[in-house]
């Protein structure tokens, strides 16, 4: 039963995403469209499942949603900050820095979300992964204290992600 | 009626805000001193600028038309892809030594971009 | 509803993907399908030519849309004859490709071959200018594939130039089409003929430029000097059967010029008068001269033949440029002749090549079958240089006769006769080196005698030569038909009214005009 | 507006021609691409310029831009895409075989023909 | 026997010797002889009619529209020549049977000989001047083959080509002349032309026609200044020389002059040209002949001289001259053929033809001696032999001929010519047969077998018979003369007699013979003088001329076609601009009828960027990656521009195509050099700039011109807009045009794409099976490479994105008919989705997991599109006729089912297949030897390399 | 309402102009470089801004049919950015 389910829905979350995308594309919510979206949401992941072999095992959808809200808020704040830096801080006063973030996360999906979050939020861009995947290289636009940046990242985002990906 | 009025003001505001963010992104692109710092401005500020315009457009569609949430999809695309684009461009800077040498990672040997496989180490300049 | 008129396009267009789908690893099946397809095409084309021979204009409205709104396919004497010519040529070329095993030396030969045929047939049959562009592109891209078939440095380099030159040509074609549509608002040739007459006398620039650009596009295809530069290297470097098939490609340009400048922009159209009278005939004469001087100057046999093609296109264009019924009839006669003659010569040069490391005009020890090859070369060269008794001579007489009325008659005659002599010297020189002088050379001990070309190869070449002989013997009937064809071209009203007045889906006759 | 478009066509053409006259296959191909842009825009303008009137049928709308040139340009774009892919491949094949990406033939005299005696 | 058969027999018979080659030499010669004999008899059956003065004709239509028909006629003149051709032909065949060596290919020889014979008979029997031309040129061709028969000998090849070139030239000139003649008269039929003397001679085109025709005659008959080819044709086997170069081919020119005599002669032009050429040829040929050591060369130049004589006679334009000409043709044919055969016998037996190595053969070869001596004396003009009779007539005629108002000129030159003629004849007899017997002959000479001496003997009998009893020949010669003169003049009353009394001609004749003897007596000092005299060697000049022409041709051709594409392209651009400019300046520009539309700041900004990127491409193109980035900008701006001018479909297509193109270009740039070096000079670049700017201005002007004016009438797209929904079932008119109104274009377009992919695949295969493969496998990268081939984050993103992209593709596909989109764009989007996967995880990983046979996808796409089109046949509609209906299946809303959608599906499949097959092919080229197939989708995977530990470390905050 | 609409109209024009200026600035960065990374970044910025332009155009013309164009630019702009970057990093963009 479970195996059959997995065969049919290799990536339930993906199916959900696709159904939502379909509905957004159609720009109307009708029973027919949703059904059609679900059908596509099943067929497409199934047809391309060979290219996503090791799907993440556990995933807390609810916590993911709250994480998303936090990040969205941070994005808005971050952008104002960066805009301010760009407009006001002269280049001579700018103090860019490399920040190395040691990673506790192991799942590729989780690390990717973390890296993405870092890029979208205050003054930081995730630049590279170490050769065995234990650290993330982050570039900060303007900071006096790289360690603080690192701790912020680990507390605010990585910790939450560890709860989402069990 | 008033809701529409407020929303219209909101549209105008979002347009201006979006445009300003876009401009700041472009200013950053011109002004900032090196490749890595320049990366910050457009990938974030610029993206949010376009995001604001998209939002304006979405509201606009509800005020003046049948309404649609298409713009959400575009925004999602932008926000999902921007980090990867930024990541690649950062890798380009690191690879081309167009930025300060990053510090070594604590547990591993080096950063993946600098970890050129053995068979790729030598190269020849093709004479055109 | 008879669908036969679209068969020359659809048959190869369906056969080719089928070969790709079902038989891409089985050369034997590919060959059988390919030959069967061409035989069927010959049958259909013969039937169509028969149907059109009494002056019938066969109209086919694609998608059931009436012209000028949809695309139409039109079969008249000229187009059906060109299709038949293509099909017959294709058969012999295909047999040679199989007999010489050229088709095995790269992938997808047969599919590309069929697509090439499709493109050529489509170009001859379509009644729509933009659709003509599409078919030009089909035949061109297939020709790129065939031209570089089997690879090799020289061939690829020539291929790059060939493709690039034609890309420029295609760009020009689009400019011309844009101009046509901007000026007239239509793309259908028959409709265009009606609308070209609407041009007011005080605003002729638009239609003039459109007409001249279109002419240049076709002149590129017809290899008129100085737009011929794409030809020598690509024809010389192309695999022989491909070059032989290409013998029809230059004729597509000639065909298009005949079609467009008798129907749409006829010589008596006020708006486009004096557009090319000044330079087209001289350019054709220079083409003829350049081609034949090239025959004399060539250092390789395949290049010699390529220049002969330029020269023969010069002959065709000289005759077309007269824009008289006699001139067009003579050109049409010459087109068929030069197609077969050029194809035969390309194939013969490949027969020569099969016993030699290259085709440089140097003497090498004779190989098995050399005397047969020499004989075929002699006959084909007679045909190409326009010596009696073969069709080349008759074609030459026809063109000279037609040229008598031209104000440039002296130039026409002098160029044709002198270049004819030059080509005789050139061919005699080349044949003497390759075949005669070779007799005085001993084969080196350590140089084993290569296998002679297969009987099928010889049969294919022999078939082409036999066609030339038959074309000579029945020259009277042929030229009579060409004269009728030319008459039909110079009186295009039935063609135009058939195309424009036949109703289609949602349209009544004359609606929208 | 018309002036901008016409001059854009002209400038694309000029740059395209200039690049087509270069000596290496890569710039030449790019030049052809520029010419393709130019001609596509030209072909488009053969339906004249209309702003804000897409050829998508809508109720109560009577003005549309000319759809036919758009369809033609679409076909042209697709065809030139195929052509570009092909020429890139052939140029690449030519380069790989000879380590030379000149478009022009190398200036080596082909072996002389012998005297026809 | 029908004239057709007489002409056709040699041609049909020509097949036999070649086919019977294996049956043996005797069979070959036998069949050739039989065929010729049959034709000969066939000819003779027409003798009574000809004698009766009838015109025997035969007619069959060939190309009536041109006026070229198989029209044959036989009159006295034609009969005379045909008799010579076939009669001497019989003797030559018999002679050649013995003459040819064992290793010579007999079948080939006789095939050519019969072809030649047929062509000659054709010439003399043609009643259509175009038909005559055909036979005329055929003699050139067959003689080319005969002269070059011994292919291994350079002299044979050279002589053959020289003969072909010179006579070919004349032939082509004659083509011109004959066509002019035909156009003057309005018919190509000789019998009509011969009735049109006044019409022709009054025509302004008379002189060109005359000159062109005479060019043909003079070259063929080796008249000065075209005499030089004939001696070199002597490289042919002697039977050929005897046949072609004495009796037949060289007489073709004479024949034609005789044939056209009634209509062309009698004018000053004719008289001056023909007589002068004949005189000069006669004298010059005779002088040269005297000093030739090669027997055949001597005979060849003597032939030149005698042909000059005949030409001169025809040139006088008097009936007596014509009759003398006819008589001399007959006589010359008999003695000259006999002499050639004798020379062949000597060559055959003594193994040399060099007079200096001969002498004293009188006793060794008595039979040959008698034959040759009689023939040579006849040629010298000794009484009681036929040559004397016609030479007397010639001198008589010369006496009455006043050229350039100088009465003594012609007679004097005639005597000089006869004098040298006598001298070389005496030399031939004296130096070959008389004198002491030598012991240093290359071979021991003796009389040949019957087969060799009998044929010349027959001829010598004729020589003597006519010489002794001229009245035997008189009726025949007069018959021939009558038909030559036609209605133009009466046959002269003169009688053929040995003794005419003490007339001036007799003194001239005596002077010539005596003078000839004296000249021969002084031969040694004269020879020294001759050898010391510098004189042009015709062969050297000719070869030099041909080589110079070839060199000139090569320099023209190779300079013009120097393989420089850049130049070709420049020429093309300039040509197009020039032609366009010409069209522009010769037309009327007309008023602008449309109002301009305003341009906002955005348009200007977009324009600025487009222009900047475009100019950037031109200036920065050497950095190839940068130029690719810039062309990306161009594409982006053009797409935005399309949005701006209401073309969303175009914008989408442009941007998707752009991306795929850039991916392709990047894949290629991986192999190509990353920079373009500076190679062209500043001057060249300036030239290119000028060409480019001119082209730009031209297109600008053109575009601007059209945009400001309306079309001449309503564009056809009105119909499309009006009927798109009603008839095509779609509201996106562009899409309906693509899949319905003009679906056939789209059908062609996907075929183009399919072919492109097949081509790319085929070339990849070819490259990978050639030497390029090894090069590719050991290729070193051309730039420093980073680590981390398959970055993790990209792979993760792709896994989510790709399905979404596919869904978007599907969406775009479905809505295309009514909104912007469609199969093509959808196909590209889906392809790009898959390419994303390839880029992220690598080609080998991705394709190992999911391998589509892209060939099949292309094939299926093209087939689906085609079969959809064919589907409409079953309802009796043309190819690609669309239909649509609205369907409702709960829970879905009502939706449209259109055949156009199936067609669009074909488009979709073809696009996906084509793009993927192309990309796959490019990627396969990039596989290197050291490339390790990646086992995993991405290189760094902490979850795989380092599974999560049970106790997480450094954990802070909320869990 | 008219005030608000006017305001929105002005805002639209301002947004157009500012976005256009941003595009030109990005173009400047693209041309001056100095490194390939900067150029790719400039291109990426221009692509994103182009989406903004298309959205603004749609608003200005009161049509929604340009939505797919923006969507496709968003999707494909990313792919081309990655392709350029991969080329600089590895030379081979599909390996
Ligand atoms: Na950040
Ligand atoms: Na490279």
What would the pLDDT profile of E900-922 be if each residue is shown by its tens digit?
A: 888 999 999 999 999 999 988 88
Q: Does the CB of E272 have a partner CB in chain D at under 8 Å?
A: no
pLDDT digits (tens, 9 = 90+) for E261-308: 888 888 888 888 988 888 899 888 888 888 888 888 888 889 888 898
Are residues A138 and A66 part of one domain? yes
Q: Does the CB of D46 have a partner CB in chain F at under 8 Å?
A: no
Task: Show residues of chain B in contact with A100, CB under 8 Å.
Answer: 102-103, 105-106
Tell me what percent of the residues of chain C surpass a pLDDT of 70: 98
Which ligand sits nearest to residue B39's alpha carbon? 1
Residue-wise burial string across C390-415, b where 16 or more C-beta atoms lie within 10 A, e elsewhere: bbbbbbbbbbbbbbbebebbeebbeb
Q: How far is the CA of B46 from the centre of ligand 2 (A)?
A: 32
pLDDT at residue E930, as a whole number: 61
Is F26 in contact with B29 (Cβ distance < 8 A)? yes
> Are F and E neighbours with ≥3 CB pairs closer than 8 A?
yes
Q: Give the CA-trace dihedral at E160, E161, E166, E167, to 10 degrees.
A: 50
What's the pLDDT band for D103 if we cut at 50, 70, 90? very high
CA–CA min distance C160, chain E (Å): 9
What's the pLDDT band for A2 if we cut at 50, 70, 90? low
As a whole number, mean pLDDT of residues B21-44 equals 90
Q: How far is the CA of C192 from the centre of ligand 1 (A)?
A: 62
Are residues A76 and A12 part of one domain? no
Instruction: Answer for the pair C13, E866: CB distance below 8 angstroms, yes or no.
Output: yes
Distance (Å, whole) CA E238 – CA E243: 8
Does pLDDT of C513 surpass 60? no
Distance (Å, whole) CA E525 – CA B88: 102
Structure tokens at E758: 């097949």
Give a yes or no: residue B19 inside a domain.
yes
Domain residues of chain C, as ranges?
1-268, 277-442+451-473
Q: Which of B24, B94, B108 sits opposite A131 (nearest CB)?
A: B108
- Greater confidence (B36 vs E152) lies with B36
What's the pLDDT band for C511 if we cut at 50, 70, 90? very low
Distance (Å, whole) CA E134 – CA E10: 16
- pTM score, whole prediction: 0.93
pLDDT at residue E864, as a whole number: 92
What's the pLDDT band for E959 if we cut at 50, 70, 90? very low
pLDDT digits (tens, 9 = 90+) for E1-25: 788 888 888 888 888 877 777 777 7
B113 DSSP 8-state letter: G
What's the pLDDT band for C148 if we cut at 50, 70, 90? very high
As a whole number, mean pLDDT of residues D92-99 equals 92
Task: Show residues of chain B in contact with A134, CB under 8 Å.
Answer: 105-108
Does pLDDT of B127 surpass 70? no
Is A111 in contact with E793 (Cβ distance < 8 A)? yes
Is D88 in contact with E645 (Cβ distance < 8 A)? no
- Residue C347, by phi and psi: left (phi above 0), alpha (psi -120 to 50) or beta? alpha
Distance (Å, whole) CA C446 – CA A75: 81
As a whole number, mean pLDDT of residues E197-208 equals 90
pLDDT at residue E952, as a whole number: 45
pLDDT digits (tens, 9 = 90+) for E128-142: 999 999 999 898 888
Does pLDDT of C244 surpass 60? yes
pLDDT at residue B1, as a whole number: 58
Q: How many domains does chain B have?
A: 1
pLDDT at residue E77, as a whole number: 87
Long-range pairs, C47-50, Cβ under 8 A, ≥24: C47/C4, C48/C4, C48/C5, C48/C8, C48/C75, C48/C80, C48/C83, C48/C84, C49/C77, C49/C80, C49/C81, C49/C83, C49/C84
Q: Which of B110-124, E493-507, E515-529 has the lowest mean pLDDT?
A: E493-507
Mutate which of F58, F59, F60, F63 to test chain D, going by most D C-beta atoms within 10 A? F63
Which ligand sits nearest to residue F91's alpha carbon? 2
> Are D and A neighbours with ≥3 CB pairs closer than 8 A?
no
Across chain B, mean pLDDT equals: 87
What's the pLDDT band for A138 if we cut at 50, 70, 90? very high
Whole domain around residue B45: which residue ranges?
A: 2-102
As a whole number, mean pLDDT of residues E86-110 equals 81
Are residues A74 and A36 part of one domain? no
Structure tokens at E90: 């019989």
Q: Does the CB of F20 have a partner CB in chain D at under 8 Å?
A: no
What's the pLDDT band for C55 if we cut at 50, 70, 90? very high
Mutate which of E789, E791, E798, E803 to test chain A, going by most A C-beta atoms within 10 A? E803
Give a yes or no: residue B55 inside a domain.
yes
Are residues A83 and A46 part of one domain? no
**Mean pLDDT highest for which of E150-164, E423-437, E557-571?**
E557-571
Task: Show residues of chain A in contact with E820, CB under 8 Å.
Answer: none
For the four alpha carbons of E929, E932, E933 and E939, in that order, the dihedral sign comes to: negative
Are residues A68 and A15 part of one domain? no
Instruction: Answer for the pair C100, C228: CB distance below 8 angstroms, yes or no.
Output: no
CA–CA min distance B3, chain A (Å): 22
pLDDT at residue E650, as a whole number: 94
As a whole number, mean pLDDT of residues C237-256 equals 95
Q: How far is the CA of A140 from the centre of ligand 1 (A)?
A: 8
pLDDT at residue A112, as a whole number: 92
pLDDT at residue E955, as a whole number: 42
Residues recorded for chain F: 95
> Are B and C neighbours with ≥3 CB pairs closer than 8 A?
no
Does pLDDT of F1 surpass 60? no
Q: How far is the CA of C111 from the centre of ligand 1 (A)?
A: 55
pLDDT digits (tens, 9 = 90+) for A4-24: 666 667 778 888 888 888 888
Tell me what percent of the residues of chain E surpass a pLDDT of 90: 30
Across chain C, mean pLDDT equals: 92
- Greater confidence (E689 vs E397) lies with E689
Q: Looking at chain E, which subunits does it touch, using at least 3 CB pairs closer than 8 Å as the criterion? A: A, B, C, D, F
- Greater confidence (E540 vs D94) lies with D94
By C-alpha distance, the chain E residue nearest F40 is: E629
pLDDT digits (tens, 9 = 90+) for A105-135: 888 889 999 999 999 887 899 999 998 888 9
Does pLDDT of E742 surpass 70? yes
Residue-wise burial string across B66-75, b where 16 or more C-beta atoms lie within 10 A, e elsewhere: eebebbebbb
Are residues A100 and A29 part of one domain? no
What's the pLDDT band for F5 if we cut at 50, 70, 90? confident
pLDDT at residue D39, as a whole number: 97
Q: Does the CB of E61 have a partner CB in chain A at under 8 Å?
A: no
Give a yes or no: residue B107 inside a domain.
no
Whole domain around residue A36: which residue ranges?
A: 2-51
Beta bridge partners of A101: A136
Q: How far is the CA of E314 from the centre of ligand 1 (A)?
A: 110
Are residues A66 and A41 part of one domain? no
Q: Does the CB of E808 have a partner CB in chain A at under 8 Å?
A: yes
Q: Is A100 helix (H, G, I), strand (E, B) or coil?
A: strand
Q: How far is the CA of E782 from the centre of ligand 2 (A)?
A: 6
By C-alpha distance, the chain F residue nearest D53 is: F61
Q: Does the CB of B64 have a partner CB in chain A at under 8 Å?
A: no
Q: Does the CB of B109 have a partner CB in chain A at under 8 Å?
A: yes
Give a yes or no: residue A56 inside a domain.
no
Q: How far is the CA of E759 from the centre of ligand 2 (A)?
A: 23
pLDDT digits (tens, 9 = 90+) for C182-219: 999 999 999 999 999 999 888 999 999 999 999 999 99
Nearest Cα residue to C311 out of C218, C396, C434: C396
Q: Does the CB of B87 have a partner CB in chain A at under 8 Å?
A: yes
pLDDT at residue B13, as a whole number: 92
What's the pLDDT band for E946 if we cut at 50, 70, 90? low
pLDDT at residue E957, as a whole number: 39
Q: Does the CB of B34 have a partner CB in chain F at under 8 Å?
A: no
Instruction: Mention every residue, 6+ apart, whose C-beta is less than 8 A from residue E629.
Output: F30, F39, F40, F43, F84
pLDDT at residue E500, as a whole number: 67
CA–CA min distance B22, chain F (Å): 7
pLDDT at residue E699, as a whole number: 97
Instruction: Answer for the pair E111, E14: CB distance below 8 angstroms, yes or no.
Output: yes
Task: Show residues of chain D in contact with E716, CB under 8 Å.
Answer: 68
What's the pLDDT band for F78 if we cut at 50, 70, 90? very high
Distance (Å, whole) CA A29 – CA A35: 10
Q: Which of A59-68, C106-115, E604-613, E731-740 has the lowest mean pLDDT?
A: A59-68
Does pLDDT of A78 surpass 90? no
Across chain E, mean pLDDT equals: 86
Q: How far is the CA of E929 from the centre of ligand 2 (A)?
A: 18
Task: Show residues of chain A in contact with E848, CB under 8 Å.
Answer: none
Mutate which of F18, F42, F62 to test chain B, going by most B C-beta atoms within 10 A? F18
Which ligand sits nearest to residue E779's alpha carbon? 2
**CATH number, span D2-50+64-108:** 1.10.287
Does pLDDT of D116 surpass 70? no
Task: Show residues of chain A in contact with B44, CB under 8 Å.
Answer: 75, 78-79, 82, 119-120
pLDDT at residue E958, as a whole number: 37
Does pLDDT of E250 surpass 50? yes
Which ligand sits nearest to residue A127's alpha carbon? 1
Q: Does the CB of C122 have a partner CB in chain E at under 8 Å?
A: yes
Which ligand sits nearest to residue E666's alpha carbon? 2
Q: How far is the CA of B37 from the centre of ligand 1 (A)?
A: 12
Mutate which of C128, C143, C161, C171 to test chain D, going by most D C-beta atoms within 10 A? C171
**Mean pLDDT highest for which of B23-32, D9-18, E264-273, F54-63?**
D9-18
Residues recorded for chain D: 117
Are residues A157 and A104 part of one domain? yes
What's the pLDDT band for E831 if we cut at 50, 70, 90? very high
Task: Show residues of chain F in contact with D54, CB under 8 Å.
Answer: 63, 65
Neighbours of ion ligand 2 (CB under 5 A): E 674, 782
pLDDT digits (tens, 9 = 90+) for E589-642: 988 888 888 888 888 988 999 999 999 999 999 999 999 999 999 999 999 999
Q: Which of E611, E642, E749 sits opposite D75 (nearest CB)?
A: E749
What's the pLDDT band for E939 if we cut at 50, 70, 90? confident
Give a yes or no: residue B111 inside a domain.
no
Is F8 in contact with B68 (Cβ distance < 8 A)? no
CA–CA min distance B125, chain E (Å): 5
């Amino acid at each position: 039963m479970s195996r059959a389910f997995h065969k049919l829905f290799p990536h339930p979350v993906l199916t959900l995403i696709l159904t939502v995308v379909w509905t957004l594309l159609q720009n109307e919510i009708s029973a027919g469209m949703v059904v059609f979206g679900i059908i596509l949401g099943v067929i497409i992941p199934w047809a391309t499942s060979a290219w996503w072999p090791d799907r993440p095992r556990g995933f807390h959808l609810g916590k993911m949603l709250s994480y998303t809200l936090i990040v969205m808020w941070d994005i808005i704040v971050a952008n104002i900050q960066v805009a301010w830096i760009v407009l006001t801080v002269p280049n001579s006063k700018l103090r860019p820095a490399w920040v190395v973030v040691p990673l506790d996360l192991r799942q590729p999906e989780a690390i990717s979300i973390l890296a993405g979050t870092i890029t979208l939020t205050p003054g930081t861009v995730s630049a590279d992964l170490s050769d065995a995947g234990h650290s993330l290289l982050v570039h900060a636009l303007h900071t006096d204290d790289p360690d603080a940046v690192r701790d912020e990242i680990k507390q605010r985002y990585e910790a939450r992600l560890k709860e989402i990906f069990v | 009626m008033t809701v529409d009025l407020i929303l219209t003001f909101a549209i105008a505001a979002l347009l201006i805000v979006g445009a300003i963010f876009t401009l700041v992104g472009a200013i950053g692109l011109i002004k900032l001193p090196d490749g890595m710092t320049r990366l910050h401005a457009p990938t974030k500020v610029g993206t949010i600028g376009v995001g604001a315009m998209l939002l304006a457009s979405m509201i606009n569609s509800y005020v003046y038309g049948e309404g649609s949430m298409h713009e959400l999809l575009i925004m999602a695309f932008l926000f999902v892809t921007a980090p990867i684009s930024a990541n690649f461009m950062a890798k380009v800077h690191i690879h081309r030594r167009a930025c300060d040498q990053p510090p070594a990672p604590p547990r591993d040997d080096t950063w993946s971009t600098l970890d050129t496989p053995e068979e790729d180490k030598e190269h020849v300049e093709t004479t055109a | 509803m008879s669908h036969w008129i679209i068969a020359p396009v659809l048959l190869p267009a369906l056969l080719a993907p089928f070969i790709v789908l079902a038989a891409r690893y089985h050369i034997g099946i590919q060959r059988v399908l390919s030959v069967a397809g061409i035989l069927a095409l010959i049958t259909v084309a013969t039937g169509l030519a028969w149907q059109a021979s009494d002056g019938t204009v066969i109209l086919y409205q694609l998608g059931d849309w009436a012209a000028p709104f949809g695309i139409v396919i039109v079969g008249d004497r000229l187009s059906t004859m060109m299709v038949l010519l293509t099909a017959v040529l294709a058969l012999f070329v295909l047999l040679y490709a199989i007999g010489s095993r050229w088709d095995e030396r790269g992938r997808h030969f047969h599919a590309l071959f069929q697509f090439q045929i499709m493109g050529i047939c489509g170009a001859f049959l379509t009644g729509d200018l933009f659709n003509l562009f599409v078919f030009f592109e089909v035949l061109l891209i297939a020709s790129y594939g065939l031209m570089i078939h089997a690879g090799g440095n020289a061939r690829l380099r020539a291929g790059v130039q060939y493709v690039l030159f034609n890309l420029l040509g295609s760009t020009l074609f689009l400019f011309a089409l844009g101009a046509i549509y901007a000026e007239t608002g239509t793309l259908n040739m028959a409709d265009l003929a009606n609308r070209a007459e609407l041009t007011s006398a005080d605003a002729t620039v638009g239609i003039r430029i459109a007409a001249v650009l279109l002419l240049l596009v076709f002149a590129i295809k017809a290899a008129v000097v100085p737009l011929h530069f794409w030809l020598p290297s690509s024809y010389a470097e192309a695999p022989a059967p491909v070059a032989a098939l290409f013998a029809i490609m230059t004729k597509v340009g000639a065909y298009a010029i005949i079609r467009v400048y008798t129907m749409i922009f006829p010589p008596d159209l006020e708006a486009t008068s004096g557009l090319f009278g000044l330079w087209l005939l001289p350019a054709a004469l220079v083409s003829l001269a350049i081609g034949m001087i090239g025959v004399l100057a060539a250092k390789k046999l395949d290049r010699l033949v390529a220049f002969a093609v330029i020269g023969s296109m010069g002959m065709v264009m000289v005759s077309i440029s007269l824009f008289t019924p006699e001139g067009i009839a003579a050109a049409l006669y010459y087109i068929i002749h030069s197609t077969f003659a050029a194809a035969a010569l390309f194939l013969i040069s490949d027969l020569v090549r099969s016993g030699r490391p290259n085709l440089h005009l140097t003497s090498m020890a004779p190989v098995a079958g050399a005397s047969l090859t020499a004989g075929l070369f002699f006959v084909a060269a007679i045909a190409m240089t326009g010596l009696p008794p073969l069709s080349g001579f008759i074609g030459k007489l026809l063109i000279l006769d037609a040229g008598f009325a031209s104000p440039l008659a002296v130039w026409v005659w002098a160029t044709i006769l002198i270049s004819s002599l030059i080509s005789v010297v050139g061919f005699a020189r080349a044949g003497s080196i390759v075949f005669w002088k070779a007799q005085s050379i001993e084969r080196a001990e350590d140089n084993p005698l290569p296998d002679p070309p297969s009987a099928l190869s010889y049969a294919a070449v022999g078939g082409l030569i036999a066609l030339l002989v038959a074309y000579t013997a029945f020259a009277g009937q042929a030229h009579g038909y060409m004269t009728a064809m030319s008459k039909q071209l110079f009186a295009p009203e039935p063609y135009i009214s058939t195309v424009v007045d036949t109703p289609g889906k949602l349209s009544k006759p004359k609606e929208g005009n | 507006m018309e002036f901008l478009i016409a001059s854009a066509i002209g400038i694309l053409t000029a740059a395209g021609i200039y690049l087509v006259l270069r000596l290496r296959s890569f710039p030449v191909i790019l030049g052809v691409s520029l010419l393709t842009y130019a001609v596509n825009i030209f072909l488009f303008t053969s339906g004249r310029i209309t702003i804000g009137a897409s050829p998508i049928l809508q109720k109560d709308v009577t003005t549309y831009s000319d759809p036919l040139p758009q369809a033609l340009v679409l076909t042209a774009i697709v065809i030139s895409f195929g052509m570009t892919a092909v020429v890139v491949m052939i140029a690449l094949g030519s380069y790989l075989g000879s380590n030379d990406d000149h478009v022009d033939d190398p200036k080596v005299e082909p072996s002389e023909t012998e005297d026809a005696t | 026997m029908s004239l057709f058969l007489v002409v056709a027999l040699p041609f049909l018979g020509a097949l036999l010797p070649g086919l019977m080659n294996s049956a043996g030499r005797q069979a070959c010669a036998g069949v050739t002889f039989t065929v010729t004999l049959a034709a000969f008899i066939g000819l003779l059956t027409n003798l009574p009619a000809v004698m009766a003065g009838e015109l025997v004709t035969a007619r069959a239509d060939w190309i009536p529209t041109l006026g070229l028909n198989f029209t044959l006629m036989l009159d006295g003149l034609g009969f005379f020549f045909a008799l010579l051709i076939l009669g001497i032909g019989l003797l030559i065949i018999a002679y050649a049977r013995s003459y040819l060596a064992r290793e010579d290919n007999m079948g080939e020889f006789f095939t050519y000989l019969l072809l030649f014979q047929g062509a000659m008979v054709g010439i003399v029997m043609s009643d259509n001047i175009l038909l005559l031309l055909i036979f005329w040129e055929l003699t050139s061709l067959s003689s080319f083959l005969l002269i070059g028969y011994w292919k291994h000998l350079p002299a044979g090849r050279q002589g053959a080509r020289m003969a072909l070139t010179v006579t070919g030239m004349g032939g082509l000139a004659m083509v011109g002349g004959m066509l002019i003649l035909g156009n003057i008269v309005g018919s190509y039929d000789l019998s009509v032309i011969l009735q049109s003397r006044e019409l022709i001679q009054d025509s302004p085109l008379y002189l060109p026609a005359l000159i062109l025709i005479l060019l043909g005659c003079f070259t063929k008959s080796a008249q000065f200044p075209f005499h030089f080819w004939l001696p070199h044709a002597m490289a042919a086997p002697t039977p050929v020389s005897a046949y072609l170069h004495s009796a037949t081919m060289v007489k073709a020119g004479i024949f034609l002059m005789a044939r056209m005599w009634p209509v062309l002669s009698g004018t000053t032009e004719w008289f001056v040209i023909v007589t002068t050429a004949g005189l000069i040829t006669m004298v010059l040929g005779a002088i040269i002949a005297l000093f030739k050591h090669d027997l055949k060369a001597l005979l060849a130049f003597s032939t030149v001289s005698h042909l000059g004589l005949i030409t001169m006679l025809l040139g006088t334009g008097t009936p007596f001259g014509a009759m003398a000409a006819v008589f001399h043709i007959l006589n010359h044919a008999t003695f000259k053929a006999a002499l050639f055969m004798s020379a062949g016998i000597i060559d055959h037996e003594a193994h040399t033809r060099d007079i200096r190595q001969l002498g004293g053969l009188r006793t060794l070869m008595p039979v040959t001696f008698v034959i040759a001596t009689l023939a040579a004396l006849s040629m010298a003009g000794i009484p009681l032999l036929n040559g004397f009779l016609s030479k007397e007539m010639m001198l008589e005629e010369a006496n009455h001929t006043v050229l350039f108002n100088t009465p003594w000129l012609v007679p004097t030159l005639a005597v000089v010519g006869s004098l040298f003629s006598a001298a070389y004849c005496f030399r031939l007899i004296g130096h070959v047969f008389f004198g002491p017997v030598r012991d240093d002959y290359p071979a021991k000479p003796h009389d040949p077998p019957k087969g060799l001496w009998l044929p010349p003997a027959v001829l010598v009998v004729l020589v003597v018979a006519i010489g002794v009893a001229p009245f035997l020949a008189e009726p025949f010669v007069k018959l021939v003369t009558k038909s030559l003169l036609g209605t133009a003049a009466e046959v002269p009353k003169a009688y053929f007699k040995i003794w005419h009394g003490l007339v001036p001609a007799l003194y001239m004749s005596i002077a010539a013979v005596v003078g000839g003897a004296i000249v021969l007596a002084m031969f040694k000092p004269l020879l020294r003088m001759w050898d010391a005299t510098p004189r042009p060697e015709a062969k050297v000049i000719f070869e030099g001329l041909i080589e110079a022409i070839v060199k000139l041709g090569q320099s023209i051709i190779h300079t013009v076609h120097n393989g420089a594409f850049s130049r070709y392209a420049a020429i093309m651009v300039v040509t197009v601009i020039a032609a366009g400019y010409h069209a522009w300046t010769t037309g009327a520009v007309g008023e602008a009828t449309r109002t301009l539309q305003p341009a906002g700041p955005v348009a200007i900004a977009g324009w600025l960027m487009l222009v900047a990127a475009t100019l950037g491409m031109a200036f920065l193109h050497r950095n190839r990656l940068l130029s690719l980035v810039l062309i990306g900008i161009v594409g982006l701006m053009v797409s935005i521009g399309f949005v701006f001018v209401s073309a969303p479909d175009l914008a989408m297509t442009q941007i998707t195509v752009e991306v795929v193109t850039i991916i392709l270009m990047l894949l290629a740039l991986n192999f190509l050099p990353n920079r373009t070096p500076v190679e062209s000079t500043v001057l060249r670049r300036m030239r290119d700039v000028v060409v480019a700017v001119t082209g730009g201005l031209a297109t600008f002007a053109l575009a601007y011109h059209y945009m400001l004016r309306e079309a001449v009438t309503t564009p056809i797209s009105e119909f499309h807009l009006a009927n798109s929904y009603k008839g095509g079932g779609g509201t996106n008119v562009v899409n309906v045009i693509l899949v319905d109104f003009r679906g056939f274009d789209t059908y062609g377009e996907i075929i183009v794409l399919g072919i492109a992919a097949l081509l790319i695949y085929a070339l990849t295969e070819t490259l990978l099976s050639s030497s390029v493969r090894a090069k590719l496998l050991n290729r070193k990268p051309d730039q420093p490479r980073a680590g981390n081939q398959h970055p993790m984050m990209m792979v993760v993103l792709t896994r989510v994105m790709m399905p979404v992209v596919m869904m978007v593709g599907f969406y775009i596909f479905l809505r295309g008919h009514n909104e912007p989109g469609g199969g093509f764009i959808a196909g590209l989007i889906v392809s790009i989705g898959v390419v994303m996967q390839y880029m992220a995880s690598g080609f080998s990983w991705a394709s190992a997991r999911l391998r589509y046979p892209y060939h099949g996808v292309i094939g299926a796409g093209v087939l689906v599109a085609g079969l959809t089109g064919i589907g409409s046949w079953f309802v009796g509609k043309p190819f690609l006729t669309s239909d649509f209906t609205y369907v409702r299946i709960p829970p879905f809303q009502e939706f449209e089912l259109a055949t156009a959608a199936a067609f669009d599906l074909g488009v979709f499949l073809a696009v996906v297949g084509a793009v993927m097959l192309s990309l796959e092919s490019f990627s396969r080229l990039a596989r290197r030897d050291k490339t390790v197939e990646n086992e995993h989708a991405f290189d760094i995977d902490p979850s795989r390399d380092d599974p999560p530990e049970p106790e997480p470390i450094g954990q802070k905050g909320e869990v | 309402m008219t005030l608000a609409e006017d305001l929105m109209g002005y805002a639209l024009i301002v947004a157009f102009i500012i976005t256009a200026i941003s595009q030109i600035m990005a173009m400047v960065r693209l041309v001056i470089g100095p490194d390939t990374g900067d150029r790719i970044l400039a291109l990426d910025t221009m692509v994103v801004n182009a989406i903004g332009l298309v959205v603004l155009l749609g608003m200005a013309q009161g049509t929604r049919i340009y939505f797919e164009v923006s969507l496709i630019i968003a999707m494909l702009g990313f792919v081309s950015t990655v392709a350029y970057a991969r080329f600089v990093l590895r030379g081979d963009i599909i390996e």
